[in-house]
Structure 1
Amino acid sequence: MRIVIAGGHGRIALRLERLLAARGDQVTGIIRSEEQADDVRAAGAEPVVLDLESAPVRSVAAVLRGADAAVFAAGAGPGSGPARKDTVDRGAAVLFANAAERAGVRRYLTVSAMGADVEHEGDEVFDAYLRAKGAADDDLRFRSGLDWTILRPGALTDGAGTGLVRLETSTGRGEVPRDDVAAVLARLIDTPATAGLVLELTGGTTPLRAAVDALAGRSR
C-alpha cells in the first residue's frame, strides 16, 4: 500500500511510519521543514516538504495522487496560540481532506482529540484546540465523501506500548501510549469496515487487533 501522512514528523506519525515501513508499505510523510527530513527517512518514509497552512489544494492533491490511504496526524503543537490551532488543527485538516478527495483517495484517517467539539466553551488555548479539532471533524463527517475514521486518543504518553487498549465510540478519560495509537492507526488503515466511526482510545485490557476487528464486525 502507499500511505501519505500529514504531519510526518510528529511523535505519533514517526511511530506509524516505522510500523508501516516495516510491513512493506510505501510511506510518504508531509513535513514543514527540510530539517525534519532525516528523521522521516530514518523512520522508513519519503519526506515531502509542504506547508499545509499555505499550500494550495492542488499541490497537496499531487502528493496524494495514487495513494491507497491518507492519515492526518498534524498539529500546531505545544506553545502555539489560538490562531495556529485554527490554521493547523482545523484549516490544514480541512485542506488535507479536500486534497484527498481531489486525488481520488478514499480511505482517510484523522487523529483528533478526546473532547473535540466545535461548540466547546472556554477562553484558554486548549479550549481553542478542542473547537478547532471539532470543526475539522465535523467537516470530515458532514461535508466530505471520504471513507473516514476519526480516532480520538486520551492523554498521550511516551511510555512503551502495551498492545492492550480500550477502543469504543465512548471510553471515558484515560491515558494511552503513542506507540499504541500508532499501532491502532496501522490496523485501522487495513480495516475499511470501520469507516464512518468516531472512536475514542485509551489504555485497556483488549489486544488492539481484537479491539479493531470487533468494531469492524459490529459495523457490518
Structure 2
Amino acid sequence: VALRLAKLLGQSSHQATSLIRTPSHEADIKAVGAQPLLLSLEDAPISDFTKAFEDKDVVYFCAGAGGKGGEERTKKVDYEGAVKVFDAIEQVKEEMKRPRLVLVSAIDVRDPEKPIPAHYDEQDIERSKKYREALGTYIKWKYEADKNLVQRTSFKWTILRPGTLLDEPGTGKVSAGRTHLRPGIPRDDVAKALALLVDRVDAAGLTIDIVGGETPVAEALDAVIKKGETDFLG
C-alpha cells in the first residue's frame, strides 16, 4: 500500500518522502516519484524521526511486520514502531509545525472483552472469530497501537482501518464507516483513500473503517468525515 500511496502523491501537487530500511528499496521509491530516506523504524532513535518530520505536513504510518518474525517482531514494528512515530511527532518543538498523522490499522481491531459492535451481523461475528484465530498476535498489537494513539491530543491524527487487502485492481468504490467486515478491498483503493486524506484536516480524531463497496472513495470518505462518527469503539 505504501508504494502505491507514494505514487499517487507523486502524481499530485504533494512531494512524498518514503522511509526505507535498506538501500535496496531506493530504486522502487524513486520510480514512483518519491524521495527515499534511509531510516529504520526498528533501530533508529526517536530523535532521527523527529528531525525527519519537522518540515512535513503529513506523516503516514503504513508499516507492518506482515506476520514475519513471530510476536516479538510484530510487537516491535506494529506497536513499538508506531509509538516511536507518535512520540517523534510530539517532540517536534513547535506545536503548530507538528505534522498530522494518518495511521493504517486494520478493521475489527478492538478490545475482545467488550461487547461485539452493534452493527456486526452474523457473518461479521464469524469472520471476526476467524481473524483472531489466524491473526491474533497482529490484531493484539495493532489494537495496542490504536489505543495509544486515540489518547493523544498534542497533534492531529486519523486512523484508516481497511478490511482484507486484495491484490486485484482497484474499483475506485468502497464502503466506509460502521460497515461490515466484508468484502475485501484492493490495495489500490486503500492507497486512494490514504491519498485523499492528505488534505482532510477535518478527519482529525476519526477512525475510519473501509472495505469494498459501491460508493466512490472520495464520496464515501466525505460522508464519514461529515458525520464525524469514529469507528474506534475501544
Is 1:116 paired with 2:116?
A: no
| Aligned amino acid, residue 93 of structure 1 | A
Is the CA contact (8 Å cut-off) linking 2:159 and 2:208 kept in structure 1? Answer: yes
Of residues 32-41 and 140-149 in structure 1, the stretch that sits farther from structure 2 once superposed is 140-149
1:14-35 Cα deviation digits (max 9, x unpaired): 0000000001211100011011
CA change 1:160–1:185 in 2 (3 A) is same
1:40-93 Cα deviation digits (max 9, x unpaired): 111111111111112111101111111010100001124331111100000101
Task: Flag as ranges the 4+ runs of structure 1 deviating above 6 A.
Answer: 120-125
Q: Could you tell me how far 1:174 is from its partner in structure 2?
A: 2.2
Q: How does 1:69-218 map to 2 (within 5 A)?
A: 69-103=58-92, 104-117=97-110, 126-218=135-227
Q: Could you tell me how far 1:118 is from its partner in structure 2?
A: 5.6
Q: In structure 2, how many angstroms separate the alpha carbons of the residues matched to 1:130 and 1:110?
A: 15
| Aligned amino acid, residue 181 of structure 2 | G
Q: In structure 2, how many angstroms separate the alpha carbons of the residues matched to 1:21 and 1:107?
A: 19
Q: In structure 1, how many angstroms separate the alpha carbons of the residues matched to 2:177 and 2:32?
A: 29
Q: How does 1:26-45 map to 2 (within 5 A)?
A: 26-45=15-34
Aligned length: 209
Q: Could you tell me how far 1:98 is from its partner in structure 2?
A: 1.4
CA change 1:64–1:118 in 2 (3 A) is farther
Is the CA contact (8 Å cut-off) linking 1:118 and 1:130 kept in structure 2? Answer: no
Is the CA contact (8 Å cut-off) linking 1:169 and 1:197 kept in structure 2? Answer: no
Query: 1:202 is paired with a residue of what secondary structure?
Result: strand
Q: Could you tell me how far 1:123 is from its partner in structure 2?
A: 8.9
Q: In structure 2, how many angstroms separate the alpha carbons of the residues matched to 1:124 and 1:208?
A: 30
CA change 1:41–1:141 in 2 (3 A) is same
RMSD value over aligned CA atoms? 2.1
CA change 1:144–1:37 in 2 (3 A) is farther
Q: In structure 1, how many angstroms separate the alpha carbons of the residues matched to 2:105 and 2:203?
A: 16
Higher strand proportion: 1
Q: In structure 2, how many angstroms separate the alpha carbons of the residues matched to 1:65 and 1:20?
A: 19
Q: Could you tell me how far 1:154 is from its partner in structure 2?
A: 0.5
| Aligned amino acid, residue 30 of structure 2 | R
Of residues 140-149 and 128-137 in structure 1, the stretch that sits farther from structure 2 once superposed is 140-149
Query: 1:143 is paired with a residue of what secondary structure?
Result: coil
Q: In structure 2, how many angstroms separate the alpha carbons of the residues matched to 1:52 and 1:119?
A: 28
Q: Could you tell me how far 1:197 is from its partner in structure 2?
A: 1.1
| Aligned amino acid, residue 115 of structure 1 | D
> What is aligned with 1:62?
51
| TM-score (norm: length of structure 1) | 0.88
1:147-191 Cα deviation digits (max 9, x unpaired): 111111101011111110001134333200000000000111211
